[in-house]
Amino acid sequence: MSTYVSREIRAELDAARIAALKKASRLRVEVGNNSYKILRLWKDGFTVETETTPRLRGLVDVFDGANHLYQCLIVAAEEGAGEMSYEFKRSTASADKAPLDFYRAPDAPIALLGYED
């Protein structure tokens, strides 16, 4: 029994796998005003489709739908099977408010209410 798969069949299998990953993923990477679908995301990097995505480099933003997850500094790692993988040099989680420069007690009041006579 032979395990050889022709180039045409391998290309079709890769295209079907990438189409399934694109359909299942809500993640995207934004560079400037352009956004590209992320196929897979892990702790140290992510992959995008090679054919539809130009070579990325530098500072990018990672989103899950409308939620901003990370701001990342990336470098290209390797290309294969229709995917280009990128590694994070730096990955900073996004927050919806500015960080505090002082300790806030968990039971601290949110606001002060005025009292009138």
Catalogue the E-assigned strands of 13-102: 27-31, 34-42, 45-49, 58-64, 67-80, 83-93
d(CA 37, CA 44): 17
Confidence of residue 1 (pLDDT cuts 50, 70, 90): low
What's the distance, Cα to Cα, between the start and end of the chain in Å? 93
pLDDT in tens, 50-84: 888 888 888 999 998 888 888 989 998 888 878 89
φ and ψ of 19, to 5 deg: -60, -40
pLDDT of 2 > 70? The answer is no
d(CA 77, CA 55): 11
With respect to CATH, is domain 7-93 assigned 2.40.10.430?
A: yes
pLDDT in tens, 59-68: 999 998 888 8
Q: Where are the domains of the chain?
A: 7-93
Q: Report how far apart, in Å, the C-alpha atoms of 69 and of each of 4, 33, 49, 59 are.
A: 42, 17, 20, 14
